[in-house]
């Protein structure tokens, strides 16, 4: 009788173990493919099914997710390419929020390189002004929709994401961004690289602030490019995977 109970116990354990291994395998295999599909005609993004299974498998495997976002580019002088090379080394895709007035004849080829490498280009306004303080609707429309039009001219597609400069938004800015077919993407982790100049400080703040499901604010600038390899290595050691915004299952930074 005791032997029977023991066998039943082992059998139940084996079934449970098989289920979890299968769940991990299934979801782990999915990690090479993005967990979302971009519906380009409807300009929206559909979440793939199976998220709860993914959560179980993430928990067991210690996996965490972070979206890397780089603002204020293109920077030029090889900095964009340096960032892209480091991302490629870590098999990471990222979001680049470009400022339209920063695009010129010398750096416009950066857009094609970003898209070619699988990164997403977002709209960070035309002139990087404090949009919440602008009262002229045509001026705001130029800053928001005008930049989307410019990006569409250069890449063949309008951006899905908008990030207001300095993270300063307003109901009107939100409304105009949505009317231009974009979601607003702010951040919930800050590398502080907009004002810190020492790579060690940027590394410290990035690691300090990044948690599971974080959207990390970085900038296209030399100090950030210099520390990026170290940063991504340290995040990988902590179990982080680098994903695009719609691959987050729980996202408070998007509206």
- Binding segment for Zn ion (CB under 5 A), chosen from 65-73, 102-110, 150-158, 195-203, is 65-73
Query: Interaction with Zn ion in 212-231: which residues (CB under 5 A)?
Result: none
Smallest CA-to-CA distance from 189 within 211, 169, 204 is with 211
Say how many residues make up the chain.
255
Distance, in Å, from the CA atom of 60 to the CA atom of 239, rounded to the nearest integer, reads 11
Interaction pattern, residues 154-173, with Zn ion; x per rule: CB under 5 A: -----------x--------
Binding to Zn ion by residue 143, rule CB under 5 A? no
> What is the three-class DSSP state of 205?
helix
160/162 with CB nearer Zn ion: 162
CB-based contact 74:110 (threshold 8 Å) = yes
- Distance of closest approach, residue 71 Cβ to Zn ion, in angstroms: 4
69/86 with CB nearer Zn ion: 69
- Distance of closest approach, residue 217 Cβ to Zn ion, in angstroms: 9
Distance, in Å, from the CA atom of 136 to the CA atom of 9, rounded to the nearest integer, reads 72
65/70 with CB nearer Zn ion: 70
- Distance of closest approach, residue 237 Cβ to Zn ion, in angstroms: 29
* 252, two tokens: 């408070």
Question: For Zn ion, how many residues bind (rule: CB under 5 A)?
Answer: 3
Q: Given the structure tokens 């039009």, which residue do they identify?
A: 149
43/101 with CB nearer Zn ion: 101
- Distance of closest approach, residue 54 Cβ to Zn ion, in angstroms: 32
- Distance of closest approach, residue 169 Cβ to Zn ion, in angstroms: 13
- Binding segment for Zn ion (CB under 5 A), chosen from 31-39, 42-50, 67-75, 204-212, is 67-75
Query: Interaction with Zn ion in 83-112: which residues (CB under 5 A)?
Result: none
- Distance of closest approach, residue 223 Cβ to Zn ion, in angstroms: 15
- Distance of closest approach, residue 195 Cβ to Zn ion, in angstroms: 12
CB-based contact 233:86 (threshold 8 Å) = no
The residues, any chain, with a CB within 8 Å of residue 79's CB and separated by 6 or more, are: 220, 221, 222, 225
192/249 with CB nearer Zn ion: 192
- Burial environment of residue 195 by CB neighbours within 10 A (0 to 12, 13 to 18, 19 or more): exposed
64/142 with CB nearer Zn ion: 142
* DSSP 8-state code for residue 162: E
* 96, two tokens: 């680049």
The residues, any chain, with a CB within 8 Å of residue 49's CB and separated by 6 or more, are: none
CB-based contact 122:95 (threshold 8 Å) = yes
Query: Interaction with Zn ion in 68-87: which residues (CB under 5 A)?
Result: 71-72
Q: Which residues bind Zn ion (CB under 5 A)?
A: 71-72, 165
């Amino acid at each position: 009788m005791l032997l029977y109970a023991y066998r039943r116990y082992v059998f139940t354990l084996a079934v449970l173990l098989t289920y979890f291994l299968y769940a991990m395998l299934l979801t782990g295999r999915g990690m090479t493919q993005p967990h979302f599909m971009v519906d380009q005609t409807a300009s929206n993004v559909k979440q793939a099914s199976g998220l709860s299974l993914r959560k179980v498998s993430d928990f067991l495997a210690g996996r965490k997710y972070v979206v890397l976002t780089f603002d204020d580019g293109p920077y030029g002088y090889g900095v964009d390419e340096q960032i892209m090379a480091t991302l490629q080394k870590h098999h990471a895709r990222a979001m680049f929020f470009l400022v339209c007035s920063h695009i010129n004849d010398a750096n416009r080829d950066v857009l094609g390189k970003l898209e070619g490498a699988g990164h997403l280009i977002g709209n960070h306004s035309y002139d990087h002004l404090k949009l919440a303080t602008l009262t002229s609707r045509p001026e705001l429309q130029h800053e928001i929709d005008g930049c989307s039009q410019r990006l569409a001219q250069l890449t063949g597609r309008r951006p899905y994401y908008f990030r207001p400069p300095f993270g300063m938004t307003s109901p009107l800015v939100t409304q105009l961004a949505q009317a231009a077919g974009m979601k607003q993407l702010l951040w919930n982790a800050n590398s502080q690289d907009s004002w810190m100049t020492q790579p060690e400080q940027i590394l410290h703040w990035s690691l300090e602030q990044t948690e599971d499901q974080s959207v990390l604010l970085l900038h296209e600038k030399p100090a950030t490019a210099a520390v990026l390899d170290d940063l991504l290595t340290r995040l990988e050691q902590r179990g982080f995977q680098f994903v695009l915004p719609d691959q987050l299952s729980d996202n408070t930074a998007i509206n």
